[in-house]
């Protein structure tokens, strides 16, 4: 190899700065043997058969000071992984993942790579990237960094696939909450004594009140948690929005209690949501999040604009313990949803409740707030090519949106329509009576019997079409919610908006069939909408926005 050993070593370190290896150099007399650990107790000694051991032994001797000068039985020493990368590529490839990731796969970086060469991607440990394509060499991929938006090459060994979070009823944001148990039971749970070991229970003597139980010395101290003006407090000096906020605070500062909370006593049968989110790669770092202006208000919390590692994001903050737990269930579903026409979940932060961090779509959709600048032409293009495909994806995943409406459709600057709140609507409907449902968008069987399905989403899609062709007007104008519910039950259907093509109104009607089974699936809707718009002269309608009204091949962008 050209250059001095020091130059070669420096070059090797630059090449594989991000490639950790489990390697030992073992000295046996005058010869150094390099052994690879496989993580299961097995080792690989193929190096000898490759004809490289002599060179490796020589270089290891230089690097580690082992070899001729060391006696038998010398202890193992760590060999520089950068050195091995330069001198034995076959060895390194044995540690590479054998699986090939398809474009669109999300991965988590396992290490740091902050000094990239031209064309390479810089990253920190725990960053999220999306695979764009595999290189000819199986060891490299071209990927896009979620936070920076940059694209570049990175080694396969630096990645692990981002896992979808399993929807597990045992998953808990508060694994230290033991429910309604007595003080004596709490003492038994906190054995043997350990300073800072704690749990939270519901008071048996005062239903609805909570008690923080902390092990300190040989005792267990019980602190009653008081309700004050919608907040929780122990000493009436520091107030908290929920139990998670309280535990987080006293884990950092003991304040009025005997000691800092160090170790939660997990309720039997529960799993820590924090641990599972971190393991799957969905737990984000609060320190990297900057919150900005409020851009929306949901029933259970504000939606804020923000930045995460320089990337614009939308953040939904849910402070109620019970609601946060319900949203966690839906967040697990959202981790499985990866489609260009769905607003993408970026991750979750556990702080004063639950922060759900999503991609920020800068333009509003086709709701009333956009009435002055959204045309049916733009709406038709977006709906035909994007919304129907996004909903088809959800339909195939057997996920029901429950709140499909123009207000939940966002259109980006590059005119890509995205369905939002697709994983949250279900959580928001838990425990609510029918009077709080979006009556004008909800199918009659869902209103009357609570039967939500992809077919009830199809009904809502018909109402959404009506909104688009009416420039964002509210459906069923001048009718009360009670009047709408009664009229629809008797067979009433809305008249077409002014200027709406007849075939499009007929399509709305097919979405509003009384019998759910007779409503078309979303794939058929997308195909039929494109076909009927074409026959109705959609080219003239869309004009410069979309001169070719023929349907695109599935999965392509306009």
316 assigned binding-site residue: yes
Q: Is 144 exposed, middle or buried (0-12, 13-18, 19+ CB in 10 A)?
A: middle
Calpha distance 269→224 (Å, rounded): 25
Q: Helix 5-15 to helix 53-64 angle, to the nearest 10 degrees?
A: 100
Q: Do the beta carbons of residue 420 and residue 343 sit within 8 Å?
A: yes
Choose, from 127, 245, 403, 546, the residue flagged as catalytic.
403
Strands 43-44 and 77-78 come out as unpaired
Q: Tell me the three state secondary structure of residue 43.
A: strand
Q: Which residue in this structure is represented by tokens 């060391």?
A: 70
Locus of tokens 């390697």: 23
* CA proximity to 282, closest of 417, 423, 428: 423
Strands 271-272 and 171-172: parallel
- CA gyration radius for the chain? 30
Q: Which residue has the tokens 């696939």?
A: 161
Distance, CA of 364 to CA of 432 (rounded, Å): 27
Is 403 one of the annotated active-site residues of the chain? yes
DSSP-based helix, strand, coil % in the chain, nearest 5: 35, 25, 45
- How many CB atoms lie under 10 A from the CB of residue 187? 15
- Of 96, 89, 35, nearest in space to 60 by CA: 35
Binding site members: 316
Catalytically annotated residues: 403
Binding site members for ATP: 316
């Amino acid at each position: 190899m050209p250059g001095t050993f020091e130059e070669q070593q420096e070059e090797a370190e630059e090449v594989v700065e991000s490639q950790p290896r489990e390697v030992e150099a073992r000295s046996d007399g005058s010869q150094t043997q390099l052994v690879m650990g496989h993580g299961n107790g097995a080792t690989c000694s193929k190096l000898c058969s490759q004809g490289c051991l002599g060179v490796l032994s020589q270089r290891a001797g230089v690097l580690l000071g082992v070899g001729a000068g060391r006696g038998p039985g010398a202890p193992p020493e760590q060999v520089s992984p950068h050195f091995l990368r330069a001198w034995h590529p076959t060895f390194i490839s044995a540690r590479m993942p054998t699986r090939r990731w398809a474009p669109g796969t999300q991965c988590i970086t396992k290490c740091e790579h902050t000094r990239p060469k031209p064309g390479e991607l810089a990253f920190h440990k725990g960053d999220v990237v999306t695979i764009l394509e595999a290189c000819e060499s199986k060891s490299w991929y071209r990927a896009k960094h979620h936070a920076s938006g940059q694209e570049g090459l990175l080694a396969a060994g630096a990645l692990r696939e981002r896992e979808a979070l399993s929807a597990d009823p045992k998953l808990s944001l508060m694994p230290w909450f033991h429910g309604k148990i007595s003080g004596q039971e709490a003492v038994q749970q906190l054995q043997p004594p350990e300073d800072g070991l704690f749990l939270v229970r519901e008071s048996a003597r005062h239903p609805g009140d909570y008690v923080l139980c902390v092990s300190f010395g040989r005792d267990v101290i019980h602190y009653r948690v008081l309700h004050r003006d919608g907040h929780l407090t122990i000493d009436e000096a520091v107030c908290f929005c929920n139990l998670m906020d309280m535990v987080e605070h006293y884990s950092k500062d003991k304040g009025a209690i005997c000691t800092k909370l160090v170790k939660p006593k997990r309720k039997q049968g529960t799993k820590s949501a924090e641990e599972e989110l971190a393991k799957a790669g969905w737990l984000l770092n609060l320190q990297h999040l900057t919150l900005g202006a409020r851009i929306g208000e949901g029933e259970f919390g504000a939606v804020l604009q923000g930045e995460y590692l320089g990337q614009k994001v939308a953040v939904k903050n849910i402070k109620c313990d019970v609601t946060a737990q319900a949203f966690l269930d839906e967040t697990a579903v959202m981790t499985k949803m990866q489609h260009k026409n769905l607003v993408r979940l970026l991750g979750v932060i556990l702080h004063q409740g639950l922060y759900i961090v999503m991609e920020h779509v800068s333009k509003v959709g086709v709701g009333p707030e956009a009435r002055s600048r959204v045309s049916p032409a733009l709406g038709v293009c977006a709906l035909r090519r994007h919304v129907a495909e996004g909903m088809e994806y959800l339909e195939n995943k057997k996920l029901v949106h429950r709140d499909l409406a123009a207000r939940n459709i966002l259109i980006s600057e590059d005119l890509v329509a995205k369905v939002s709140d697709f994983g949250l609507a279900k959580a928001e409907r838990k425990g609510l009576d029918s009077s709080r449902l979006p009556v004008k968008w909800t199918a009659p069987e869902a209103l009357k019997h609570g039967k939500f399905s992809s077919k009830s989403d199809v009904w809502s899609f018909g109402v959404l079409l009506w909104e688009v062709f009416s420039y964002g007007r509210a459906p069923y104008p001048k009718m009360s919610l009670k009047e709408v519910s009664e009229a629809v039950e008797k067979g009433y259907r809305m008249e077409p908006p002014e200027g709406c093509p007849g075939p499009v109104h007929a399509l709305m009607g097919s979405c509003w069939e009384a019998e759910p089974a007779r409503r078309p699936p979303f794939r058929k809707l997308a195909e039929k909408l494109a076909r009927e718009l074409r026959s109705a002269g959609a080219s003239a309608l869309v004009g410069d926005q979309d001169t070719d009204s023929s349907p695109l091949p599935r999965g392509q962008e306009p």
